[in-house]
């Protein structure tokens, strides 16, 4: 029985910052951003758009009435959680009007959380093939104004509906993974901004990739000649590019060139949305399928997932017959084209807005009228959504 991604889509806020504008404001050469890290724009969320809202808006794009009744497991993977106790999935369950007879949980392990959710969902469907699992990878990457990480911010969510006999990608049951305790990136409970050791994080990311690639070859999980694409977690596109480049000399030139060509298709959305943490790998999957029409059913894709701290996994999936019919490239391009470009002053004002934390009431307005859900108010330390 094949199990994998039956439907998928993404949502991102309706406003963005152009990184040329940011470079000029920070008195930096724009090519440091455009070429040095390979990014062009980054999504900017409004105060009414938290991880719950982003997740629910992404999920609304793919769920039918039948899906809502068949979902037996709901996972929200995020490192931007809104509560230290209550799972974001419970808010999402209500917003999506899902059946009450399901498991609803939140997962966290930095940017690896989405893959942890996908693998847990795969195991769930293997045991309950008549049910489906909904995995929502939703995050807001926030580092602070005029910090070294400012240019690698972003916001968005990816929705993955996992089922038996999937219509997009069948996930292989075997994979390789590694965990180790390192301090390359973290965010203490008392901080709203993440802390990172950028260069060190890149080193860990690349070292774990090479470790897992070597382990996969030793276990003969796949042959490099059979891989039609290599997808990577993309906090910024240059980081994934370095992983692919590390294979040069290890692969036949025709295989390396194929992976490099398709990698360029996989970064298109990430370059204009920015870092969405748990959803970044899966945004690259959507980008690849939207931009490369040469892929065919039966093609095998390798996926490298990485979460600082650190956990990494390398797994494969196979495109199934008719996968193209489940893609929505035109709606994605329309959503991105209709976003509002913020000025630096507007971006900085948006960044500095805060939700109340003293128990008072704060009413919010909807920033994206095209999206079905938003945070309406905070009152008595509770969040209320529509």
Q: Is the dihedral of CA 316, 13, 33, 351 positive or negative?
A: negative
Residue 202 CB contacts under 8 Å (≥ 6 apart), including other chains:
239, 242
CB-side neighbour CA atoms (13 Å) of 340: 15
Task: Give the span between the Cα atoms of 234 and 334, in whole angstroms.
Answer: 22
CB-side neighbour CA atoms (13 Å) of 74: 28
Task: Give the span between the Cα atoms of 57 and 55, in whole angstroms.
Answer: 6
Which of these is catalytic: 106, 111, 313, 373?
111
How many CB atoms neighbour CB 334 within 10 A?
10
DSSP letter assigned to residue 109:
B
Q: Give catalytic status of residue 303 as yes or no.
A: no
Residue 367 CB contacts under 8 Å (≥ 6 apart), including other chains:
13, 14, 15, 46, 47, 48, 49, 374
CB 112, CB 306: distance < 8 Å: yes
Q: Give catalytic status of residue 111 as yes or no.
A: yes
CB 378, CB 359: distance < 8 Å: no
Which of these is catalytic: 233, 291, 332, 373?
233
Q: Which parts of the chain are beta strand (E)? A: 3-11, 15-18, 41-43, 71-77, 103-107, 132-141, 154-164, 169-171, 176-179, 185-186, 195-196, 227-232, 300-307, 311-319, 340-341, 362-363, 375-379, 382-385
Closest-CA residue to 270 (of 258, 256, 286, 294) = 286
Closest-CA residue to 88 (of 62, 110, 108, 72) = 108
Task: Give the span between the Cα atoms of 280 and 7, in whole angstroms.
Answer: 17
Which of these is catalytic: 79, 106, 150, 313?
79
Residues with a catalytic annotation lie at 79, 111, 233
């Amino acid at each position: 029985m094949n199990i994998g991604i039956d439907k998928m889509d993404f949502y991102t806020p309706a406003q963005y910052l152009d990184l040329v504008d940011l470079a000029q404001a920070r008195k930096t050469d724009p090519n440091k951003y455009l070429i040095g890290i390979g990014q062009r724009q980054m999504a900017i969320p409004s105060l009414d758009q938290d991880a719950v809202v982003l997740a629910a808006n992404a999920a609304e794009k793919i769920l039918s009435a039948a899906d809502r009744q068949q979902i037996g497991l709901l996972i929200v993977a995020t490192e931007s959680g809104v509560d230290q106790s209550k799972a974001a999935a419970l808010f999402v369950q209500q917003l999506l009007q899902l059946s009450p007879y399901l498991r609803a949980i939140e997962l966290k392990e930095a940017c690896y959380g989405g893959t942890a959710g996908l693998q847990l969902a795969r195991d769930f469907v293997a045991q309950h093939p008549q049910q489906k699992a909904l995995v929502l990878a939703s995050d807001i990457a926030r580092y602070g104004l005029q910090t070294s990480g400012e240019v690698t911010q972003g916001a968005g969510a990816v929705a993955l509906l996992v089922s038996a006999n999937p219509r997009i990608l069948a996930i292989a049951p075997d994979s390789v993974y590694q965990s180790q305790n390192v301090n390359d990136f973290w965010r203490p409970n008392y901080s709203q901004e993440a802390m990172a050791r950028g260069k060190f994080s890149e080193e860990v990311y690349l070292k774990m990739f090479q470790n897992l690639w070597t382990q996969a070859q030793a276990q003969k999980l796949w042959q490099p000649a059979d891989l039609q694409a290599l997808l990577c977690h993309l906090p910024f596109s240059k980081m994934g590019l370095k992983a692919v480049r590390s294979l040069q000399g290890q692969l036949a030139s025709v295989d390396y060139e194929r992976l490099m060509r398709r990698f360029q298709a996989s970064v298109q959305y990430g370059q204009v949305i920015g870092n969405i943490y748990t959803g970044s790998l899966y945004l690259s999957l959507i980008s690849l399928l939207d931009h490369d029409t040469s892929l065919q059913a039966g093609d095998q894709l390798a996926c490298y997932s990485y979460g600082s701290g650190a956990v990494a996994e390398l797994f494969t999936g196979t495109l199934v017959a008719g996968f193209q019919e489940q893609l929505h490239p035109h709606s994605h391009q329309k959503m991105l084209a209709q976003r509002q470009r913020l000025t630096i002053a507007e971006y900085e004002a948006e960044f500095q807005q805060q939700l109340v934390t003293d128990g008072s009431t704060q009413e919010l307005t909807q920033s994206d009228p095209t999206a079905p859900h938003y945070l309406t108010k905070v009152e008595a330390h509770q969040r209320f959504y529509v």
